[in-house]
Structure 1
Amino acid sequence: MSQAVQLHQYGDVDVLKVEDVAQPTPETDQVLVRVKAAGINPGEASIRKGVFKDSWPSTFPSGQGSDFAGIIEAVGEGVDDTLIGAEVIGFTHDRASQAEFVVVPQTQVTPKPASLSWDVAGGLFVAGTTAYAAVRAVDVKAGDTVAISGASGGVGTLAVQLAQLRGARVLGIASPARAEWLAAHDVELVPYGDGLKERLEAVGRIDAFIDTRGQGYVQLAVDLGIPRERINTIIDFAAAKHYGVKTEGNGVGGTTEVLSELARLVGEGQLDVPVARAYPLAQVQEAYRELERGHTLGKIVLLPGGVG
């Protein structure tokens, strides 16, 4: 037996339980990973609440989580057994990463650079591939000015850096409390709140807009005159449909190839993944309470392996 986050119904954080489950066994072309760290994400909270039950229903009891980092414990037929003991970053499509063990196809893991801590590696997949896809969707080029809402969140902190790596000037819409982190990463803080449109207009031409928050930012981008093909939201699908803007995120960016590239950038020090806090698996409810309060800097992760 092993432990995993389980939920038996839709609801608030109190439906999340850490329960004994049968330890999974790898089948053909699969690997069994002992999870050292697993990211948590706003989309998982929405799924748990039933927000997306018409599009992505849950079958109960359900596990939870997509991204993880850990050590390959066993392999199935067709997988080289010399991989046992390898440190990897990966993802699952089975809502199963917030657990002591997870089984995935071999093609859904990539080597973890030695320089990455477990908490950084475990929180990389969802936020990283979402940010990567969003930056790619608005075709960021050298010399562009790009505005990014929620610039200090899990996706936003990575999107601002990925846009900079393409040579853009980046405007980070965030709280003044995040000014120090943004300045350290050469991002120009534009405080959110009343008067935001006027503050952005004062900047001059803005070529592209990435929305990671919702809350009217798509309409704001349109009102600023930004071309609609260069506006992308990862959350406000209703506004995207209404205004005809893009909605590219993890669904198109979530590949092993993109994850591998992100891991390389982090390993080489070109991409910083801030971790707000890491919780033991048993404190999954507390972790999601902090996530859902918002205003954290970067990622929140769980540590089933008990290490950071």
Structure 2
Amino acid sequence: MRAITYSRYGDVDVLELTEQPDPKVGPDTVLVRVRAASVNPVDWKARQGHLDRIMDVEFPVVPGWDVAGVVERPGLDTPELAPGDEVFGYVRKDWLHGGTFAELVAAPVRTLARKPASLSFEEAAAVPLAGLTALQTVRRAAVREGQTVLVHAASGGVGGFAVQIARAAGARVIGTASATNHEYLRSRGVEPVEYGEGEVERVRALAPDGVDVILHYGGANAVADAPRLLAPGGTIASILDAKARDELGGQYVWVRPDSDDLTELARMIDAGQVAVDVAAVLDLADAREAHRLSETGHPRGKVVVRV
């Protein structure tokens, strides 16, 4: 099979289009014919070696954890799925090796769900990691109807899903973002706030009594500023700073693959509660450019690779 691989840590130049053996299919795994994958910041951080202290690696590594495709062959005990099923998933395994930037990927069934019927494969590939991160942080923070929720980095890959999921739960949502993304946030029913100096005061102007929940997906000072913004009894959930848990009693979330959560995301998408933003679609051979685009931090929406 054709696959993007890297045989050492480094910049985008270590990514190469190579021929690799087809992956083996374990008993609780299905072989997926990949139609599209997408880039997440963790992909290029892994390529740079930043996950080396927490994950084993087997070179050459095929990068990528997000996938959308078609089941080609089931494992010995996978009654959930059959050949021809259209699926999407967050195929994070316990070590770095067999990712989704390839024509085929062996995916544990716990990492997959049926693809949202309303989405193309390219759109579906943009959902899993970011969508699951948003859903799981919203749940861990127990967001509910009538609350006021502050989402930091609200126009980013994860924040863009989180604001919609929080709104679907009945919350009022305030979101921090650069001025260029304020109209986008308003279109999602979000009250935008400019990043930077005076941010706390601008949020307080919108929520004088404080906010019930802070969802932290970006911003260097967000956790330090949280006590000045939370209402009595309020909480914070962060994917970036363990101090949210250790010092503020909130949640620190590392997203987990979860078939049921993917199914819930698909339901919300097909019901029109959650929309998907795709910044660019490139071919597999252009994986270096896909990583470059993601590393700039500028795209609104996901960078997708068509296989």
Q: TM-score, normalised by structure 1?
A: 0.91
* 1:287 and 2:296 aligned: no
Aligned positions of 1:166-177 closer than 5 A: 166-177=169-180
Higher helix content, 1 or 2: 1
Cα distance in structure 2, aligned partners of 1:9 and 1:28:
30
Partner of 2:153: 150
Q: 1:227 to 1:288 in 2, by over 3 A?
A: farther
Q: Which runs of 5+ in 1 are unaligned?
A: none
* 1:50 and 2:69 aligned: no
* 1:35 and 2:34 aligned: yes
Deviation of residue 143 (structure 1)? Answer: 1.2
Task: Give identity over the alignment, percent.
Answer: 38
Partner of 1:206: 211
Cα distance in structure 2, aligned partners of 1:58 and 1:116:
33
Tell whether the 8 Å contact from 2:23 to 2:106 is kept in structure 1 after alignment. yes
Could you say what secondary structure the match of 2:47 adopts? helix
Partner of 2:236: 231
Q: 1:242 to 1:89 in 2, by over 3 A?
A: same
Q: Judge which range, 184-193 or 112-121, deviates more.
A: 112-121
Cα distance in structure 2, aligned partners of 1:299 and 1:29:
29
Cα distance in structure 1, aligned partners of 2:241 and 2:88:
29
Structure 1 residues 205-237: Cα deviation after superposition (integer angstroms, max 9, x where no partner): 211101101412111112324568611111123
Q: Judge which range, 195-204 or 58-67, deviates more.
A: 58-67
Cα distance in structure 2, aligned partners of 1:68 and 1:259:
12
Could you say what secondary structure the match of 2:224 adopts? helix
Q: Judge which range, 154-163 or 26-35, deviates more.
A: 26-35
Deviation of residue 244 (structure 1)? Answer: 4.3
Cα distance in structure 2, aligned partners of 1:33 and 1:187:
37
- Within the candidate set 225, 229, 234, 1:220 is matched to 225
Q: 1:57 to 1:188 in 2, by over 3 A?
A: same
* 1:136 and 2:139 aligned: yes
Q: Judge which range, 154-163 or 81-90, deviates more.
A: 81-90
Cα distance in structure 2, aligned partners of 1:92 and 1:98:
11
Structure 1 residues 87-122: Cα deviation after superposition (integer angstroms, max 9, x where no partner): 111232235112111012334322223211111211
Cα distance in structure 2, aligned partners of 1:247 and 1:64:
25
Deviation of residue 31 (structure 1)? Answer: 1.6
Partner of 1:126: 129
Give the AA of the match of 1:211.
H
Tell whether the 8 Å contact from 2:127 to 2:276 is kept in structure 1 after alignment. yes
Deviation of residue 25 (structure 1)? Answer: 3.7
- Within the candidate set 149, 162, 167, 2:165 is matched to 162
Partner of 2:76: 77
Q: 1:97 to 1:144 in 2, by over 3 A?
A: same
Cα distance in structure 2, aligned partners of 1:108 and 1:278:
23
Partner of 1:113: 116
Q: 1:34 to 1:227 in 2, by over 3 A?
A: farther
Partner of 1:297: 300
Partner of 1:68: 67
Q: 1:3 to 1:167 in 2, by over 3 A?
A: same
Cα distance in structure 2, aligned partners of 1:79 and 1:60:
28
Cα distance in structure 1, aligned partners of 2:105 and 2:182:
38
Partner of 1:186: 189
Cα distance in structure 1, aligned partners of 2:265 and 2:58:
32
Residues paired across the two proteins, number: 301
Higher strand content, 1 or 2: 2
Give the AA of the match of 2:218.
R
Q: Which runs of 5+ in 2 are unaligned?
A: none
Give the AA of the match of 1:206.
V
Cα distance in structure 1, aligned partners of 2:110 and 2:261:
13
Partner of 2:250: 245
Cα distance in structure 1, aligned partners of 2:73 and 2:214:
44
Deviation of residue 280 (structure 1)? Answer: 1.0
Tell whether the 8 Å contact from 1:280 to 1:303 is kept in structure 2 after alignment. yes
Structure 1 residues 109-163: Cα deviation after superposition (integer angstroms, max 9, x where no partner): 2222321111121121100110001111221121111111111111000000011
Tell whether the 8 Å contact from 2:80 to 2:109 is kept in structure 1 after alignment. no
